[in-house]
Amino acid sequence: MKTKFKAGIYVAAGLLLAAGLAYFFRQEIASLVSGVGGEKGAPQSAQQTGETTAAEPSGKKVKYWTDPMIPGFKSDKPGKSPMGMEMIPVYDFGEPEGGVKISPQAEKNIGLRTEKAAIRKISRGIRAVGTVAYDERKVANIQSKVSGWVEKLYVNFTGERVAKGDHLLEIYSPDLVSTEEEFLLALKNRDLAAKGTGHDMVMAGNEMYEATRKRLEYFDVPDHQIRALEQDGKVFKTLHLHSPYDGVLVSKPVFVGMQVVPGMTLYTVADLSDVWVMADVYESEIGWVRVGDPAEATLAAFPGRKFAGVVRYINPFLDKDTRTVKLRIEFANPTLELKPEMYANVEIKTAARVAVAAP
């Protein structure tokens, strides 16, 4: 009997504890829900009866009644819920369903600031990854237009700097020697014809002289060599090839004694005072980019530094595998710090556009 009596006491105590906890949580939830229409801590009796008190928003209409212990339960009349609990009112503030409302103090605490959307000028920074490349307009292949053999090299290794007009190499060419001899003969005949009285002989001498001189020019014989040949009357057996501009030797597949033929590349010279960065921009962003947009590049080799450039060309084709478009961005490189094949992170500053936007 004593055991059953103790068990009954424990059961009763457990029920009382559960009822107390349920009442406590109901009061807390009720205060949160009713807070939409009245201040937290307002007397429950006033909320249940729908009377206007100092704690309730004056003149507000009750939207529906609910029991916070039953999620989603709504009633258009006050009273008890199916769980036997007094329902609490939810007030209509004229706000749409599912809206979120926070107090001014909460706005201040979280730093919330609102502003109306309006027509504004907006710009966008497009970021991309690219590779430094040669300016293709300033790359030259040095070739010979005569057959022969390499007699002497003035530039001997890749990477060596050259200036415009510098001697690169000399080529011995039998064809060149025979053309020079014809030129000297034509020069002599022209002078002899000029001393005579026959007009036809003078014309023929001039035509032969001009024809052989043109052949030397077609062989890319420099003017200074032609003038020396004309003044001294001595045949030179080698042709001098010169650098077309200031730059760096990119490749040198030629050696002393090598036989060369017309069209063979002997040197490749590149001017690196300006370089390109070939950058890939995603399909979704390419519509923002225009030729002439300014850009900035950063490189791992120069941390903290930014190089200024300009978008000069937008490829008309899309890479179907990467879904990107290739851009050509031009950078001045007077100190030759930017080297071909370096990786660069690029940010393109797009022009401002008018659109509806919020700050």
* Number of Cβ atoms within 10 Å of the Cβ of 100: 5
The last residue of a domain, from among 245, 269, 293: 269
**Three-state DSSP state, 83:** coil
Q: Is residue 114 part of a domain?
A: no
Cα–Cα distance list, 2 to 9, 10, 12, 15, 16 (Å): 11, 12, 15, 20, 21
List CB contacts of 52: < 8 A, sequence separation 6 or more.
58, 59
Q: Is residue 120 part of a domain?
A: no
Same domain? For 143 and 256 the reply is yes
Same domain? For 153 and 258 the reply is yes
Same domain? For 169 and 264 the reply is yes
Q: What's residue 352's pLDDT?
A: 74
Q: Is residue 118 part of a domain?
A: no
Q: What percent of the chain has pLDDT over 70?
A: 77
Q: What's residue 109's pLDDT?
A: 75
Same domain? For 40 and 84 the reply is yes
Q: Is the dihedral of CA 113, 118, 122, 128 positive or negative?
A: positive
Q: What's residue 61's pLDDT?
A: 81
Same domain? For 153 and 53 the reply is no
Round to whole Å and give the CA distance between 42 and 30.
11
Same domain? For 178 and 217 the reply is yes
**pLDDT < 50 stretches in the chain:** 32-55
Half-sphere exposure of 155 (CA within 13 A, CB side): 28
pTM for the full predicted model:
0.61
Q: What's residue 15's pLDDT?
A: 62
Q: What's residue 153's pLDDT?
A: 96
Same domain? For 87 and 175 the reply is no
Same domain? For 196 and 159 the reply is yes
Q: What's residue 90's pLDDT?
A: 83
Backbone angles phi, psi at 5, to 5 degrees: -65, -45
The helix (H) or strand (E) run that includes residue 206 is helix 199-218
Q: What's residue 100's pLDDT?
A: 65
Q: What's residue 2's pLDDT?
A: 53
Strands 343-349 vs 125-134: parallel, antiparallel or unpaired = antiparallel
Q: Is residue 217 part of a domain?
A: yes
Number of structural domains (the chain) is: 3
Q: Is residue 130 part of a domain?
A: yes
Same domain? For 148 and 262 the reply is yes
Round to whole Å and give the CA distance between 118 and 359.
9
Residue from 223, 238, 222, 234 nearest 175 by CA: 238
The last residue of a domain, from among 231, 251, 269: 269
- Which range of residues forms the domain containing residue 73? 2-106
Same domain? For 263 and 316 the reply is no
CATH code assigned at 341: 2.40.30.170
DSSP states of 242-305: E-SSSEEEEE----TT-EE-TT-EEEEEE--SEEEEEEEEETTTGGG--TT-EEEEE-TTSTT-
Q: Is residue 112 part of a domain?
A: no
Q: Where are the beta strands (DSSP E) in the chain?
A: 61-66, 88-92, 118-122, 125-134, 139-143, 148-153, 161-162, 167-172, 238-242, 247-251, 259-260, 265-270, 274-282, 294-298, 307-319, 324-332, 343-349, 353-357
Q: What's residue 200's pLDDT?
A: 66
Encode pLDDT of 294-303 as tens digits: 999 999 999 9
What strands lie across the sheet with 265-270, from one edge to the other?
139-143, 265-270, 247-251, 161-162
Same domain? For 263 and 282 the reply is no
Are 92 and 74 contacting, i.e. CB atoms less than 8 angstroms apart? Answer: no
Round to whole Å and give the CA distance between 93 and 61.
8
Half-sphere exposure of 223 (CA within 13 A, CB side): 1
Same domain? For 28 and 90 the reply is yes
Q: Is residue 243 part of a domain?
A: yes
CATH code assigned at 253: 2.40.50.100
Give the mean pLDDT of the chain. 82
Using only the alpha carbons of the chain, give its radius of gyration.
46
Each as own residue / partner, the long-range contacts of residues 213-221 (CB below 8 Å, 24 or more positions apart, any chain) are 213/183, 213/186, 215/179, 215/182, 215/183, 216/179, 216/180, 216/183, 218/145, 219/145, 219/146, 219/173, 219/175, 219/176, 219/179, 220/144, 220/145, 221/176
Encode pLDDT of 176-223 as tens digits: 999 999 889 888 888 777 776 556 666 777 888 888 889 998 988 888
Are 297 and 309 contacting, i.e. CB atoms less than 8 angstroms apart? Answer: yes
Q: What's residue 40's pLDDT?
A: 42
